[in-house]
Structure 1
Amino acid sequence: MTSSMICLVLGLPQVQQPARLWALVAVPLLVALYLLALRRRNRTGMRFPNTGVLGAVLRPQSQWKRHVAVAMALCSLAAVTYAWARPMGIEKIPRERATIVVGIDNSLSMTATDVDPTRLDAAKAQARNFISTLPAGFNVAVVTVSGHPRVVMPPSTDRATTERALNAIGTENGTAIGDAITISLQAIKEAPGGASKEPVPAAVVLLSDGGNTDGSDPMTAANAAASAKVPVYTIAFGTQTGYVDVDGARERVAPDTTLLAQIADRTRARSWTAESAGDLKSVYQDVHSSVGYQEVRKEVTARWAFYALGFAIVAGLGVVSMATRWP
């Protein structure tokens, strides 16, 4: 039987150095030696001609004290050996659950230059500024809004990694706003501590020109967000005169501000244009803080060293009690 199987059978945490557990063999060996010593002691007791004098001189020792002292010493040895093997336990770490999902429209229409320098670059800059104002404990996720939306950054408090993911977004074909909202709702469930029965306090900030071309109906997704009590704030980028050049042909790409306003209204949120967005603090101020717990594997050597210390103290008290003839 391997050391890992022993831990599994005994219900003990797994260890990083299972080979060191073989030192536990010393415990049953010492138990056997102790029992052998007790047996020999009972067979070869000292004889005195006058047992009355012996009883007056020596007070009888309590056998249970000796047994307890030995048992505690062996338990201390077993615990310190287990600590030496570096056990790994599960610790519940408190994590902020509040999550903000930033949706960036990266469709070809976002390359229009009617917003300086382009709609996409302006949206990224607006997103960076907004993320920098969020409380440090809030989780931020980034979702692309193209014909095939995806999560490019799961909920995290790592602002540097989030910004790199944001900056790396390039253009893609199509715009599926409904699918992007659905994926944003799924991303919220990935927030640390999101396994709690209570819904994760969250909001979605959608930066887009609103021209939906693919995927599911945006208003159906908005209804799902409203049912989940996740407001979807929208920021419309672009002007009515915006255009892009595709295969040598110039195409008008006026923003669909009506659709974005309807999504925000359906989810009890607000909608802005790129020029009027300004301070977005109202987005996260309405998202209440909520702390959940995430299970993390962590070394618990100190815990077992503490157990060993406790056993050693009890064993020491037993030895001192016998040596000083306490009652």
Structure 2
Amino acid sequence: MTLSSPLLLAVGLLVTAALVWASVVSARRRTAALVAAGVAVPGGRRAYLGTGLSIAGVAVLAIATAGPAAMVPVPRAAGTVILAIDVSNSMGADDVAPTRLAAAQRAARAFVAAQPDSVDIGVVAFERGALTTARPDADHSIALKAIDRLKITGSTSLGTAITASLTAITGKQVAIGRDGAAPDVGYWPSATIVMFSDGQNQGGDIERAAEVAQKAGVHIHTVGVGTTAGATVQVDGYHLQTSLDEDTLTLIAQTTGGAYHPASDTAQLDGIADTIDLRLTVSDEPLPLAGALIGLALALLAGGAALTVLRSGRVI
């Protein structure tokens, strides 16, 4: 238990001690006076119960004024979430209305809106390369503005998306070496990557990048935006067929301990915020006890006053 004002507790206890001393002295004088007058002295503890309850009420009230609080473990969603959003040319397909990217943006905004302030959210836009468009921050309006600014361009590298997201999480550059060497980025168990993509990968070592995330304790939840039937997009005057690659997105999620979430229609996209579970952390938070103690003190004081009135006909 913690106290916000220990000095008030000390003063309150001194007052309580003074009341105890005064009640003892008063009881002795009263007993001596009764004996001198030849009156029988009432015995038993009941004679002093009212006074005892009143003094106990004052003692409890003294503790309450000191601002006591108990530290209790409270589970809550916390940590860092990076929204990695695919902005490659294939995300312009309209098999999810109005386009895959627009649908992903809507789902990402809904996800941000559903998160508490205890979660820092960042945004990484990726195609062949990747760019952190919003660093992780508790101010979720920054992430929402970054999501709104996304534009379609380039091809796709899911491996780069993962390493760029890890860079945003750790604050230091993360990259797979040309020899395939995987960097040690430390352990980040409270971090999560939510990847919105159609899974159409055109470069980068996906498996090695996913292994780096797995070793860092970072879960990747993949959201498949598109349909397996696919659609045609126009790129530089060419018509290209593109379809959802669920196998690649599932592989990334399973490797890192996350989950794959299909989002081939509006209903599934709108429910993404509810299906992605962030890991809960447990932290100790203060629980104020003053209110409960004040209630107990008032009950003791009322009980003491009632017993005193019943015993002597007056409040003392």
Give the TM-score of the pair, scaled to structure 1: 0.54
Q: Which residue of 2 aligns with 1:6?
A: none
Contact 1:208 1:235 in 2 (8 A): no
Contact 1:138 1:157 in 2 (8 A): no
Amino acid aligned to 1:322: T
State the Cα distance separating 1:310 from its structure 2 match: 0.9
1:104 and 1:157 map into 2 onto residues whose CA distance is 19
1:167 and 1:319 map into 2 onto residues whose CA distance is 67
Count of aligned positions: 271
Contact 2:74 2:283 in 1 (8 A): yes
CA RMSD of aligned residues (A): 5.8
More strand by share: 2
Distance 1:35 1:155, change over 3 A: closer
Query: Does structure 1 residue 284 correspond to structure 2 residue 261?
Result: no
Amino acid aligned to 1:287: T
Instruction: Say which SS state the counterpart of residue 205 (structure 1) adopts.
Output: strand
1:133 and 1:225 map into 2 onto residues whose CA distance is 25
Q: Which residue of 1 aligns with 2:74?
A: 92
1:1-20 alignment, distance < 5 Å: 11-12=1-2, 15=4, 18=5
1:314 and 1:155 map into 2 onto residues whose CA distance is 49
Q: Which residue of 1 aligns with 2:292?
A: 306
Distance 1:203 1:166, change over 3 A: closer
Distance 1:278 1:74, change over 3 A: closer
1:1-327 alignment, distance < 5 Å: 11-12=1-2, 15=4, 18=5, 21-38=6-23, 40-41=25-26, 44=29, 45-48=32-35, 51=38, 54-55=39-40, 61-63=46-48, 65-82=50-67, 92=74, 102-105=83-86, 110=88, 124-131=101-108, 137=114, 142-145=123-126, 147-148=129-130, 150=132, 152=134, 162-169=143-150, 176-181=157-162, 204-206=195-197, 210-212=201-203, 217-221=205-209, 230-231=221-222, 233=224, 242-243=235-236, 262-264=247-249, 266=251, 279=266, 281=268, 284=272, 287=275, 292=280, 295=283, 297=285, 303-325=289-311
Amino acid aligned to 1:233: G
Contact 1:104 1:207 in 2 (8 A): no
State the Cα distance separating 1:12 from its structure 2 match: 1.0
- Structure 1 residue runs of 5 or longer lacking an equivalent are 1-10, 189-193, 245-251
State the Cα distance separating 1:321 from its structure 2 match: 1.4
State the Cα distance separating 1:316 from its structure 2 match: 2.2
Deviations 1:1-42 (A, max 9, x none): xxxxxxxxxx415x4xx5xx5333432332342344256446
1:68 and 1:316 map into 2 onto residues whose CA distance is 9
Contact 1:177 1:218 in 2 (8 A): yes
Instruction: Say which SS state the counterpart of residue 211 (structure 1) adopts.
Output: coil
Contact 1:136 1:157 in 2 (8 A): no
Distance 1:144 1:243, change over 3 A: same
State the Cα distance separating 1:95 from its structure 2 match: 5.3
State the Cα distance separating 1:67 from its structure 2 match: 3.0
Give the TM-score of the pair, scaled to structure 2: 0.55
Contact 2:262 2:268 in 1 (8 A): no
Distance 1:71 1:187, change over 3 A: farther
Contact 1:93 1:295 in 2 (8 A): yes
2:235 and 2:278 map into 1 onto residues whose CA distance is 42
Amino acid aligned to 2:19: Y
Distance 1:133 1:233, change over 3 A: same
Amino acid aligned to 2:305: V
State the Cα distance separating 1:138 from its structure 2 match: 6.7
Contact 2:124 2:165 in 1 (8 A): yes
Contact 1:79 1:307 in 2 (8 A): yes
- Structure 2 residue runs of 5 or longer lacking an equivalent are 170-187, 255-259
Deviations 1:262-295 (A, max 9, x none): 51364585899xxxx5547178399376895664
Deviations 1:180-232 (A, max 9, x none): 236668999xxxxx979xx98x96322576332x5xx1134457889968455
Instruction: Say which SS state the counterpart of residue 55 (structure 1) adopts.
Output: coil
1:297 and 1:219 map into 2 onto residues whose CA distance is 40
Percent of aligned positions that are identical: 14
